[in-house]
């Protein structure tokens, strides 16, 4: 019995330590973007490779907004091309903010937009 308890205790310690280390490795930078009626106020964004959380502000649009990020050149109308981790975790209500999950970006060009607002497509460049 003592052997099983020791194995379970070791497994729990290893699992918790592993998750804590993974969490500490992920240092995401928050990118704040604001939407007004029919537009983002930031017309382009340039970032370095890394992990990001997108925080989207709904500045009196009058209804819910969202956020879609797609590698440039991909068909933005096809959800399979969307970077799902960049979606806000819930629709952004009028005059509030919401954030995405951590999104890892590599060098290249992307487009971002809101289909709910709707906005034009803007460029996000990762150098």
Alpha carbons 106 and 101: distance in angstroms, whole number: 16
Q: Range with the lowest mean pLDDT among 14-18, 75-79, 103-107?
A: 14-18
| Confidence grade of residue 83 (pLDDT, cut at 50, 70, 90) | very high
Confidence of residue 67 (pLDDT cuts 50, 70, 90): very high
Q: Residue 55 pLDDT more than 50?
A: yes
* Structure-block tokens of residue 5: 């308890």
Q: What is the pTM of this model?
A: 0.80
> Does the pLDDT value for residue 20 go beyond 80?
no
Neighbour count for residue 58 (Cβ, 10 Å): 25
4, pLDDT greater than 70: no
Band of pLDDT at residue 47, cut at 50, 70 and 90: very high
Q: Catalogue all structural domains in the chain, each as residue range(s) with its CATH number.
A: 28-126 (2.60.40.420)
pLDDT band, very low/low/confident/very high, at 18 (cuts 50, 70, 90): very low
Query: Rounded mean pLDDT of the chain?
Result: 86
């Amino acid at each position: 019995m003592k052997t099983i308890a020791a194995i379970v205790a070791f497994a729990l310690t290893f699992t918790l330590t592993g998750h804590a280390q993974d969490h500490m490795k992920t240092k995401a930078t928050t990118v704040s973007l604001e939407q007004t009626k029919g537009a983002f106020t930031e017309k382009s964004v340039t970032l370095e490779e890394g992990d990001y959380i997108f925080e989207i502000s709904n500045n009196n649009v009058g209804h819910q907004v969202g956020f879609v990020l797609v590698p440039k050149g991909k068909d933005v109308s096809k959800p399979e091309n969307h970077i799902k981790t960049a979606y806000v975790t819930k629709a952004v209500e009028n005059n509030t903010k919401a954030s995405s999950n951590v999104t890892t970006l590599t060098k290249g060009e992307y487009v971002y937009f809101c289909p709910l607002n709707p906005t034009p497509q803007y460029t996000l460049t990762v150098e």
